[in-house]
Amino acid sequence: MKNVFISSLIVVVFLFAYSCSPCSDEGNQNKTEHTEKSDKHNAEDGKLVLNNGKPWDTQVEMTNRVNNMMQLLNGFSDYDNVDAYKNLSTALSHEFDMIFKECTMTGEAHNQLHNFLIPVKDMLEALNSSDVQKCKQGYDHLKAHLSEYSTYFQ
């Protein structure tokens, strides 16, 4: 499954890179078009960026699901129990999966949401480790990452 995801991601990146390459050097391109194309290309590289210095508009459902995930993390207190992390991961994974099922966003805001969400999958996997220290690290990384949501989305 992970190989399919990685292969798909490589294909998407290749297609974006190909679509951003200039077809011709027409002298009538203005500076604004060049800047927009450059900004779009940078965003498509998988790097999370703001919308001209401001948060992206997103669906209420997306924000609610991320807030639900934060509530689950904030309510967690069994830091030394590997099984508790696995239960937390199951609950968080449900919210994470629902984000993809409920998402009807399009355009660059949608792309940026995916850039935000891609690292979450690995963080959730860390919560399923049999090593409590890896679970704690995954928990800390996930909590810090999700707390950045309001910086990039509104």
1 falls in which pLDDT band (50, 70, 90)?
Answer: low
- CA torsion sign for 68, 92, 141, 113 is negative
Tell me: the pLDDT tens digits for 102-136?
999 999 999 999 999 999 999 999 999 999 999 99
| pLDDT score of 24 more than 60 | no
Residue found by looking up tokens 């099984």 in the block? 83
Looking at residue 40, the DSSP 8-state letter turns out to be H
**For residues 88 and 128, what is the distance between their CA atoms, to the nearest angstrom?**
9
Tell me: the pLDDT tens digits for 50-67?
999 999 999 999 999 999
Residues 60, 126, 116, 102, Cα dihedral to 10°: -30
Helices (H), the chain: 2-20, 31-44, 60-75, 82-102, 107-126, 132-147, 149-152
